């Protein structure tokens, strides 16, 4: 006897027959439908009955965040994001020299 996997929003699944990864992004229990987003970014809507017929297993969220956006590893290696983060934290903000004399709050009641 096969156990039915209940769809959960935010959970990743692997369709073992098609060897595809997807995440459940919405679930409408009243209508009995759900929307999934494949790893490549494609969206699909299906009813829960169809979901239950798929051969699925739950999987961890993929580590390759660039999958659906076609970002090559070579492109990611070209940028040093640690320097960008450091530069942003050193940036001067116009409110740095602002001194508050206090705030007065008046209640009309």
pLDDT values of the chain reduced to their tens digit, one per residue, 109 residues: 467 889 999 999 999 999 999 999 999 999 999 999 999 999 999 999 999 999 999 999 888 755 555 555 565 555 555 555 555 555 555 555 555 556 566 666 5
Distances (CA, A) of 23 to 50, 51, 96: 15, 12, 43
How many of the other CB atoms lie within 10 Å of CB of 34? 21
Rounded to whole angstroms, how far apart are CA atoms 105 and 109?
12
**Contact between 23 and 34 (Cβ < 8 Å):** no
Domain boundaries, the chain: 12-60+67-89
Q: Is 72 left (phi over 0), alpha (psi -120 to 50) or beta?
A: beta
Rounded to whole angstroms, how far apart are CA atoms 47 and 84?
44
Q: What is the pTM of this model?
A: 0.58
């Amino acid at each position: 006897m096969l156990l039915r996997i209940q769809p959960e929003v935010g959970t990743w699944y692997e369709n073992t027959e098609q060897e595809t990864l997807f995440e459940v992004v919405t679930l409408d229990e009243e209508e009995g439908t759900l929307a999934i987003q494949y790893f490549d970014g494609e969206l699909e809507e299906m009813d829960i009955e169809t979901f239950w017929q798929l051969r699925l297993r739950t999987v961890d969220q993929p580590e390759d965040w660039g999958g659906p956006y076609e970002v090559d590893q070579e492109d990611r290696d070209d940028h040093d994001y640690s320097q960008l983060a450091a530069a942003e934290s050193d940036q001067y903000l116009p409110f740095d020299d602002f001194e508050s004399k206090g705030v007065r709050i008046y209640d009309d009641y």
